[in-house]
Amino acid sequence: MARRDRQSGQRRGGTGLSRRKMLKGAAALAGVAAGWGAIRGFPLIWAQNIKNVTLRQFGTGVSNINEIAAKAKEDLGITLEMAALDSDAVVQRAVTQPRSFDVIDSEYWMLAKIVPSGNLQPMDTEKIKLFDKIVPIFTKGELAGKPIASQGTAPFKVSYLSGPESKEFSKMPTRWFTLVPTIYNADTLGIRPDLVGKIDSWKELLNPKFKGKASILNISSIGIMDAAMVCESMGEVKYGDKGNMTKEEIDKTMKVLTEAKKAGQFRAFWKTFDESVNLMTSGEVVIQSMWSPAVTAVRSKGVPCEYVALKEGYRAWAAGLGLSKALSGLERDAAYEYINWYLSGWVGAFLNRQGYYSAVLETAKANMTADEWGYWMEGKPAQSDIKDPFGKVMEKAGAVRDGGAFETRMGAVACWNAVMDENRYMVQKWNEFVAA
């Protein structure tokens, strides 16, 4: 999927001059020496310097994609060394190895663990060219003028920091941002409709009819959210906040799951994208926790797979790009250029075609056909065959996206991936469940 990046904290290539200084020098181009002096034609010099920059990025495999790195190289000249890790490993590396990366591709729920370490530098929103165009889920905590669901780690709760050196979240908007959002989605259960039929509730994951054919995501902080959606739909547990359970709520949830496991309900627990795809494609599993691109991947193989719009709503998540505290100089300027490029449309369209949503909708739209946009974002029937980002046909003309339009799906979010106050206790109980 991606090359493993270096562990060294050594800086690479570049002059060490910040873009701000270069801009200041350019402004003095009319023969006036400003600071380090006037440099004629600085944009070309700066562009040449940025081509010498290598940025080390790591995150989950969701968006650490070789095609994105190749396109960034083509458009910007920047070399991206990408490493794809599982969620827990992303957190561990961010907290313990701050000099081993330049850019982090982090999910928002991880920030409660990462930000207090001081290993991310607050991002200056004034350097983000399209900041005002970012979907207000992230900047205002709302969608279509209405507040979004707040259970769990809703992105707005952890989007802003109180200052340029802060390790504390701000409840109100400031100039300083934790992550510039890249992708997000509303997750639900994936099924093999040819083997399952129609379902409308999360509780179907534990329906004995699917004994030995069910699976749940084995990343504790996410899996337990799916479990909560299941338990609440069954009437077994009523939560104050599914994203921040009490010990009693955790115990009740784990009891339900453990009893189901001992009864043989689960065929497997999965941790990676490929595992979920293989389980569903093979038919070993017919109902499971799933990610939208995995559904796309299964369909691309010619196997029926449906992402079900369940009556209790969706579990949502979001991810974004952040900067290492150690990043400075030309490399930091290059990182901002890369992030601005990320929002400019090509990547947004690429990720939308996998079933994700992009942070700046209008630039993604400009890089998609009207038919693609209608299918993925507006809930309209496809006028022609719909292809995945790699050119494979995944839907035939006439198909409608599972769950419908963007505002319909994201407007039905019930909770967000989160880190709980009782996280350590929850992880302990989750591991006991997996080992039971």
Q: What is the pLDDT of residue 43?
A: 52
Question: What are the phi and psi torsion angles at 328 (to 5°)?
Answer: -155, 175
Taking the model in full, what pTM does it have?
A: 0.84
Q: What is the pLDDT of residue 41?
A: 37
Q: What is the pLDDT of residue 10?
A: 36
Whole-number Cα distances in Å, 264 to 192, 204, 206, 211, 433 = 19, 15, 10, 6, 13
407: which residues sit within 8 A by CB, 6+ positions away? 143, 144
Residue ranges in 86-190 assigned as alpha helix (H): 87-96, 111-114, 136-139
Torsion of CA 202, 225, 260, 306, to 10 degrees: 40
Task: Give mean pLDDT, residues 59-67.
Answer: 84
Residue pair 317/366 in contact by the 8 Å Cβ criterion: no
Q: What is the pLDDT of residue 111?
A: 96
Q: What is the pLDDT of residues 123-175, one digit of tens each?
A: 999 999 999 999 999 999 999 999 999 999 999 999 999 999 999 999 999 99
Q: What is the pLDDT of residues 361-397, one digit of tens each?
A: 999 999 999 999 999 999 999 999 999 888 888 888 9
Radius of gyration of the chain (CA): 22
Whole-number Cα distances in Å, 41 to 27, 36, 53, 126, 223 = 11, 15, 20, 24, 54
Lowest mean pLDDT segment, chosen from 17-21, 395-399, 419-423: 17-21
CA of residue 305 relative to chain centroid, distance: 22
Residue 28 has pLDDT above 50, yes or no: no
Q: Which top CATH class is 19-178+317-343?
A: alpha beta
Residue 19 has pLDDT above 80, yes or no: no
Residue pair 153/141 in contact by the 8 Å Cβ criterion: no
Task: Give mean pLDDT, residues 313-330.
Answer: 96
Determine the Cα–Cα distance for residues 130 and 362; give it in Å rounded to an integer: 10
Beta partners for residue 306, in sequence order: 191
Q: Which residue has the higher pLDDT, 6 or 344?
A: 344
Kindly indicate the confidence band of residue 421, based on its pLDDT and cuts at 50, 70 and 90. Answer: very high
209: which residues sit within 8 A by CB, 6+ positions away? none
Q: What is the pLDDT of residues 79-130, one digit of tens each?
A: 999 998 888 899 999 999 999 999 999 999 999 999 999 999 999 999 999 9
Beta partners for residue 183, in sequence order: 319, 358
Q: What is the pLDDT of residues 171-220, one digit of tens each?
A: 999 999 999 999 999 999 999 999 999 999 999 999 999 999 999 999 89
Residue 42 has pLDDT above 50, yes or no: no
Neighbours of 435 (CB within 10 A): 8
Kindly indicate the confidence band of residue 35, based on its pLDDT and cuts at 50, 70 and 90. Answer: very low
Query: What percent of the chain lies above the pLDDT cut of 70?
Result: 89
DSSP assignment string, 342-409: HTTSHHHHHHHTTT-EESSHHHHHHTS-HHHHHHHHH-PPPSS-EE-TTS-EEE-TT---TT-SHHHH
Determine the Cα–Cα distance for residues 78 and 47; give it in Å rounded to an integer: 10
Task: Give mean pLDDT, residues 10-20.
Answer: 36
**Residues 176-204, buried b or exposed e (16+ Cβ, 10 A)?**
bbbbbbbbbbbbbbbbbeeebeebebbbb
Q: What is the pLDDT of residue 47?
A: 61
Angle at 62 between CA 61 and CA 67, to 5 degrees: 80
Closest listed residue to residue 149, CA positions, set 405, 377, 378, 410? 410
What's domain 187-313+412-435's superfamily in CATH?
Periplasmic binding protein-like II (3.40.190.10)
CATH 3.40.190.10, the chain: domain bounds: 19-178+317-343, 187-313+412-435
Determine the Cα–Cα distance for residues 132 and 129; give it in Å rounded to an integer: 8
